[in-house]
Chains A and B, each alone.
Chain A
Amino acid sequence: MGARRWPIWTGLAVAAVVFTYPFAWLVSASLKPRPDVFDNALIPREWAPENYVTIWSAAPVLTWLGNSVVVALAAAATVTVSSAIVAFGFAYFRFPGRNALFALVVGTMMLPGAVTMIPTYLIWNELGLAATQVPLWAQNLFGSAFYIFLIRQFFLGVPRELFEAARVDGASYWRLFWRIAVPLCRPALIVAFVFELRASWSDLLRPLIYLRDPALFTMPRGMKAILDQFGQAGEARWEVVLAGAVLTTVPMIIAFLLCQRYFIEGVATQGRKG
């Protein structure tokens, strides 16, 4: 057995190095003085934590990180609650047009985001909100097809007798949703929440479209501004850019390590019966 296993271990170990090395390099290089940036030593020969001081004074990174936290939390909270409400509608009730409507929900998952990007911008522009952070999360108030699909699967697993018993006791539909379905399906809601948190945290395209005022930038949008300022001028200051990249990445890595079970569960369910 042991003899047959070693190719597996070698393969996995090599892949693991390829997948983790860029992180290690990123963090380490962000702590090196400028001439050493391309040096591959994972432990800096000379430490330069002042790169973080430089970026701190060159850009409002604390504001950007704060903006990202607010936007990502708003996006994740709204999409989770609204998708759960809609998912309950599809899971519990039997009504005319249910299957057709649900097929429509699933169908919209295939619609490329680039297609609705322009008219959506025009809507927010008409509403006078185009230059604010509102467009970055407010659409989530209406639920999102993938999360509706995911949460509905969990709601369908709740034994119907539980609902029927509560109905007999005179519970309202809202109560069935809020007091029975939601508590029993908490893992699905957490999956939706952390998924959207990640998506929102990483988004660059929408902040590029909507945000003009640097005080409103999210961290990835700010990161792009740092790169424009320090990376593409005549003399690139990569150590500052790298410190920015670390600040953009590390909060998400921490969130992932804390809730990795939910991230991975969410992905694993995607491939099943889609």
Chain B
Amino acid sequence: MARRETWAAYGFLSPWIVGFLVFLAGPMVASLVLSFTDYDVLTGAEFVGADNYRTLFGDPRVRTSLGNTLFYTALHVPLTMVVSLALALLLNRAGRRSAGFFRTVFYLPTVTPKVAVGVLFLLLFNGQSGLVNQVLGPIGPDWTADPAWIKPGLVLIGAWSLGSTVIIYLAALRDVPRDLHEAAQMDGASAWARFRAVTVPSISGALFFTLIINTISGLQTFDEVYTAFYGSANQQTYGSDAALFYVVYLFQQAFQFLHIGYASALAWLLFGIIMAVTLVQVRLSRRFVHYGGG
């Protein structure tokens, strides 16, 4: 009886087990093996030892793309989290019905395909005639052409789609026990003190979760950057490498130049970086994340 049940259970799980083996475990192994080869799909793979990794560490474009990506992520993650938290706090204070309306408004940009976001970036942030600079006037930089301003501009347009983070925070804020706040208020705690001592610890799980997912997605930014700055017609729109993000470079190596082995090594470096960053975040989070006993 119990045995039959086990078989049935594995029957239900079988789609995932097959998918895991064929599209996750298998590819991971294949990717690792490929990273030690020279392979262009058309001819057979040739074993080259650690050559790809050696090349990778000496490749200036790896350094550029990695630098760009880390710079972008380092701005994107805190900006997203701080603005989202501010909006979620406002929503939490507004009445339920109006909160529902604004929640919809804030979430709307996240259903906009990133291709369209890339187009909006090119036009709204256009140095001469874009709306952003019409507002900023003479102090507005050339967001889409000045290498120093391309990434800050991308961070700003990226922040436009922070709606999911807002909703996650709002859901967490609604679970904060009211009596904790009231008790703190009775004790004469200021609004800021209550925010630090009650609100932040109560939603630390959500803060941690969004820290991890925003970091991972930031490190893999591709669609809007590729849309705005790269194309099939011309390898690159602008002379500088300011918009060379890591996954863009990985994509070019793999699918435009067919350097499959080298690109696999790039993929493993990215994997290593993401794992390392995530582990550091998990470590640090142990100090401040509280999972309420509720």
Residues on A lying within 8 angstroms of B by beta carbon are: 5, 8-9, 11-12, 15-16, 18-20, 22-23, 25-26, 29, 37-38, 40, 82, 85-86, 88-90, 92-96, 98, 101, 104-105, 108, 110-123, 125, 139, 141-143, 148, 173, 177, 198, 201-202, 204-205, 208-209, 219-220, 223-225, 227-229, 231-233, 238, 241-242, 244-245, 248-249, 252-253, 255-256, 260, 263-264, 267-274
Contact = CB atoms under 8 A, between A and B. Distances in A.
A86 B12 contact: yes
B260 interface: yes
B246 to A, nearest CB: 8
B111 A256 contact: yes
A154 to B, nearest CB: 15
A274 B12 CA distance: 23
B130 interface: yes
B90 A12 contact: yes
Contacts of B5: 93-95
| Chain A to chain B: the 6 pairs with minimum beta-carbon distance, closest first | A142-B19, A89-B12, A119-B27, A271-B168, A93-B9, A38-B129
7 contacts: A19-B160, A22-B109, A88-B12, A95-B9, A101-B13, A114-B222, A272-B206
Interface string B140-172: 000000000000000000001001100111111
Contacts of A242: 119, 123
Given A82-B15, A268-B168, A114 B111 contact: no
A268 B170 contact: yes
Contacts of B205: 271-274
Given A112-B216, A267-B107, A272 B172 contact: yes
Contact of A112 (B114, B116, B274): B274
Contacts of A110: 212, 216, 278
Nearest to B135: A40
Given A37-B123, A114-B270, A245-B115, A19 B106 contact: yes
B13 to A, nearest CB: 4
B71 interface: no
Contacts of B233: 228-229, 232-233
A232 B30 CA distance: 38
Contacts, number: 283
Contacts of B255: 121, 208-209
A16 B102 contact: yes
B16 interface: yes
B231 A227 contact: yes
B19 A143 contact: yes
A136 B146 CA distance: 36
A150 to B, nearest CB: 14
Contacts of A122: 30, 34, 41, 260
B93 interface: yes
Contact of A228 (B126, B232, B254): B232
B41 A125 contact: yes
A112 to B, nearest CB: 5
B284 to A, nearest CB: 17
Nearest to B3: A95
A123 B22 CA distance: 9
Given A204-B227, A205-B223, A252 B12 contact: no
Given A22-B120, A143-B15, A271 B172 contact: yes
A260 B28 contact: no
B42 to A, nearest CB: 11
Contact of A139 (B13, B19, B130): B19
Contact of B271 (A38, A115, A177): A115
